[in-house]
Amino acid sequence: MSNNQKLIFKEKLQYSAENKKLVKLVLSKKRNKFSDLKKVTVKLSKIKEEVKLSFNYTYNTNDKTKNFNIEDGLIEVETLLETELYNADLFTTKETVQLFTNKKNNSKIKTSEPTFTELSFNHDKIKKKRISLENSLYLQELGISTTNFKIKKDMHDKYRQINKYLEIIESLLDPLKNKKEIKIADMGSGKGYLTFALYDFLKNSLNLQTQITGVEYRDELVVKSNKLATKVLFKNLKFKQGTIEQTEIGEIDVLIALHACDTATDEAIFKGIKSNASLIVVAPCCQKQIRKQFNVSNEMASIVKHGILKERQAVIITDGLRALILEAYGYKTKVFEFISDEHTPKNIMIAGTKHNNKVNKDEILEKIKAIKTLFGIEYHYLEKLLKI
């Protein structure tokens, strides 16, 4: 931190943290408008009897939490204010201190009476659950909860995954929340865990008029899911038998395809683009098509000669090209972690949001061509579907 005002702020923050007077610190106003980091909230937290600074990083599509000791936490705040965010609001039991920094990196502080006069330590925080266990018959029928509406012992990860998924979808759906009805196609719905939960959340928690169609190849799962939807009175939730490639979905607002294997993900993205969907959300897996084509003769050859590195590089290239192709067709894309790989290795999600801004398609296609040349790739399957 450069000037005297920042030094004063730093000293006030350090004093409040070391003397347990810090209620919370909020860092905001991002320096780079293209950054996914929106804000950072810092609170005191007691973990195993040790006082820590708990950081909650709020991104466009998810939140991440990290704990620091006091000294390292203060360094992290200083770094964030130099590189990521301009402003800070410090709330202590004694005063409120605001730090304002302009684009020339000049700062000023403003102090006022305390907003909070009591300190409560941030222990293990109970996260907001977007679907309730209580009286959710479909969670029972799908084997997630018991007859007493408790999570089954081996289903805690699945329940956590469902709620994380709904958190992500809720943020992505923001531009569509004023629509009279949101039409969603869930391609490859499987047993329907996420499909039922999404319908329940949108209809009963957010009060959005929703029509969801789950597409699944296995007929027995389609029959079972339709029976359950009828039983729990989800009247605008339907399931149909078919493949992603061959099923006609008509005009939709949202296309979702989670863990569609290999090129089935490309077929789903193709369907979304052709249906002019406002939102396309996929979580790819088993990216084999690009890996089989790798023919690297440049400096990268010494890296991809190792099987595990070749496989991981193929995953990155496959999904990176998918994101670029979506951008070429007028979608703003985000590629991010769906849920920690502690719970599932299939943890990457690609989200494309349709926009009306001008797109230099030729420039993006040139970038795609250069990447393919670097790795000796003849074509990406999504290119073939779109005939580009």
Using one digit for the tens of pLDDT, what is the confidence trace for 266-282?
999 999 999 999 999 99
Chain segment 51-64, per-residue pLDDT in tens: 899 999 998 877 88
Q: Where are the alpha helices (DSSP H) in 213-306?
A: 219-231, 264-274, 289-293, 301-304
Helices (H), 113-217: 137-141, 156-172, 193-200
Chain centroid to CA 219: 31
In this prediction, residue 341 carries a pLDDT of 43
Encode burial over 11-43: b for 16+ CB neighbours within 10 A, e otherwise.
ebbbebbeeebbbbbbbeebbeeeeebebbbbb
The amino acid occupying position 265 is: T
Exposure string over 121-134, b if 16+ CB within 10 A, otherwise e: ebeeeeeeebbebe
**Taking the CA of residue 179 as centre, how many other CA atoms within 13 Å lie in the half-sphere pointing to its CB?**
17
Q: At what angle are helices 264-274 and 307-328 packed, to 10 degrees?
A: 10
CB-based contact 24:91 (threshold 8 Å): yes
pLDDT tens string 152-189:
988 988 888 899 899 999 989 989 988 999 999 999 99
In the chain, what are the domain boundaries? 4-112, 137-386
Query: What are the φ and ψ backbone dihedral angles of 137, each rounded to 5 degrees?
Result: -60, -35
Say whether pLDDT at 74 is over 90. yes
Considering the four listed CATH numbers 3.30.70.580, 3.40.50.150, 3.40.50.1220, 3.40.50.2000, the one that applies to the domain covering 137-386 is 3.40.50.150
What string of DSSP letters covers 314-325?
HHHHHHHHHHHH
Whole-structure pTM value: 0.69
Mean pLDDT check: name the lowest of 38-42, 284-288, 357-361: 284-288
d(CA 259, CA 282) in angstroms, rounded, equals 7
For residue 103, what are the CA distances in angstroms to 77, 324, 371? Answer: 18, 31, 35
Give mean pLDDT, residues 368-377: 95
Lowest mean pLDDT among 17-31, 44-58, 70-84: 44-58
Burial 357-375 (b: 16+ CB within 10 A, else e): eeeeeeebeeebeeebeeb
Residue 345 has pLDDT above 70, yes or no: no
